[in-house]
Amino acid sequence: MENNTETKYNKLITAVSIIIPVAVAALFGVNLKKLGYDVEPLHELPPIYATINGITAVLLIVAVLAIKNGKRKLHENLMKIAIACSLAFLLMYVAYHMTSISAVYGDVNHNSVLEETERVAIGSSRGIYLFILLTHIALSVIIIPLVLITYVRALAQRFDKHKKLAKITFPIWLYVAITGVIVYLMISPYYVK
């Protein structure tokens, strides 16, 4: 049976879990430069948000080690920081894509078109990149409600349910954080500057 804290947050978690992916998808398609606004591309953001993904991965690992060693308050604080990092990543990611032209993997001449010679030159690495990117994106949508529900269960002091869901949430969130770094490292040579 759910307690009052969980019940109180269920509608909010559902709303946030729907609104965030829809808003990101909608905003991802909005490029202020293409709409005629005189905005400077935020080229400095990708290495920053990739670093934030890396920090999130480290925080998650250290938080798990903290709770396994009985350091509940440290675990709680690290998880709050990890959530804040994920939110910061999201905001920077949207800001970058609203002000910059999206890079195309393998586009060596930076004309936003993957030409046949470029496709041949990168070979199968494009398939690997797309697999990592697509799983990263799909799991980043799934992780939103998982993180929120896991957090609320801890907030409600339903640690049995929290622990059970955290065993699912942790590896998915860690995968999303690590693949965020990998995606950046793979696409960064092709950013249009």
- Separation CA 2–CA 169 (nearest Å): 19
In this prediction, residue 25 carries a pLDDT of 86
Q: Going residue by residue through the chain, which has 193 residues, state the pLDDT in tens, using 9 for 90 and above.
A: 456 778 888 889 999 999 999 988 888 778 787 788 888 888 999 999 999 999 999 999 999 999 999 999 999 999 999 999 999 999 999 999 888 888 899 999 988 899 999 999 999 999 999 999 999 999 999 999 999 999 999 999 999 999 999 999 999 999 999 999 999 999 999 987 6
pLDDT at 17: 93
Provide the 10 A C-beta neighbour count for residue 159. 13
Q: Please tell me the class of the 31-190 domain.
A: mainly alpha
**CB-based contacts of 108: which residues, under 8 Å, 6+ apart?**
118, 121, 189, 190
Among candidate residues 148, 135, 143, 151, the one with its CA nearest the CA of residue 172 = 143
- pTM for the whole structure: 0.90
The pLDDT score that the predictor gives to residue 1 is 47
